[in-house]
Structure 1
Amino acid sequence: MTISLSHVHVLVDDPDAALAFYRDTLGLEVRNEIENDGFRWITLSTADQPEIEIVLSQPHAGVSKEDGDARAALLAKGELPGVLFRTDDLDGTFEKVRAVGNAEILQEPTDQFWGVRDAAFRDPAGNMVRISQA
């Protein structure tokens, strides 16, 4: 039996701002975009791993109002799990994110004691995004 990662969901309150960050700043490619009941799901992936897709979705999409409100509250507080990327040029990626200015910089590229060099941001929705050097 083989199991592999297929999709990862990232909640966003503004799909257009999230798209500008993940597509235009980080360089992910849009694979699919669907609208339903006033909500959007945008699926992106990297050129090197097209089989792993990141789905940007809104907190109230596909759930009850109560659950959507709870998700939105956690998103607003920055309390949802983040997403981690790997790049072969951390400094270049960091400078691009800084130059575009659509993410809050939390940590400049740093050598971590556990052996990785990484940087940290908050995307336009407040999600933690860490990028490490491959």
Structure 2
Amino acid sequence: MTITIQYTFLPQTDPEAALGFYRDTLGFEVRNDVGYEGMRWLTVGPADQPQTSIVLHPPAVDPGITDTERETILELIAKGTYGAALTLSTDDLQGLFDRLQAAGADVVQEPMDQPYGVRDCAFRDPTGNLLRINQA
């Protein structure tokens, strides 16, 4: 039996900013761009890994969420205290760090050796989701 990760979901509050970050800065390909009732769902991923994708979705659109809950989630996102996290890996951590920093990405942590044996750095995407990037 083989189990693979096909999709992970991250909220996005600005589809164009999300495209700028994931497509233009990280270099991911856009696999799907779906609009519905004034909202957009974007699916992106590394070109050499077609089996794994990130779905960038409008936050708080689940049918079971109340208007009050939706407002609270959007307020937390605006304050930068609500978001998801994703860990990526690269064979050139410093090169990717330099590219993201030059593009104006929000640096959370510069590349460093962690006590648990990983060298990594961290950024926030335009919505505030935390992206850790490990040296492969």
Q: Give the TM-score of the pair, scaled to structure 1.
A: 0.90
How many residues get paired?
133
Is the contact made by 2:112 and 2:121 (CA closer than 8 Å) also made in structure 1? yes
- Greater mean alpha carbon deviation, residues 61-70 or residues 119-128: 61-70
Q: Determine the C-alpha separation between the residues in 2 that align with 1:85 and 1:98.
A: 16
Is the contact made by 2:73 and 2:82 (CA closer than 8 Å) also made in structure 1? no
Question: Pick from 95, 98, 122: which aligns with 2:101?
Answer: 98
**2:133 maps to what in 1?**
131
1:82 maps onto 2:109 in alignment = no
Q: Determine the C-alpha separation between the residues in 2 that align with 1:27 and 1:108.
A: 20
RMSD of Structure 2 on Structure 1 (CA): 1.6
Task: Find the residue that maps to 1:8 and give its secondary structure.
Answer: strand
- Taking the TM superposition and a 5 Å limit, the aligned residue runs for 1:1-134 are 1-63=1-63, 64=65, 65-76=67-78, 77-101=80-104, 103-134=105-136
Is the contact made by 1:90 and 1:132 (CA closer than 8 Å) also made in structure 2? yes
Letter in 1 for 2:115: F
Q: 1:79-117 CA distances to partner (integer Å, 9 max, x unpaired)?
A: 32311110010000000001111x211111001111111
Structure 1: give runs of 5+ residues left out of the alignment. Answer: none
Identity of matched residues, %? 47
- Cα deviation for residue 62 of structure 1 reads 4.6
Q: Give the TM-score of the pair, scaled to structure 2.
A: 0.89
Q: Determine the C-alpha separation between the residues in 1 that align with 2:43 and 2:71.
A: 23
Q: Determine the C-alpha separation between the residues in 2 that align with 1:124 and 1:15.
A: 10
Q: Determine the C-alpha separation between the residues in 2 that align with 1:74 and 1:49.
A: 32
Q: Determine the C-alpha separation between the residues in 2 that align with 1:110 and 1:49.
A: 27
Letter in 1 for 2:85: G
Structure 2: give runs of 5+ residues left out of the alignment. Answer: none
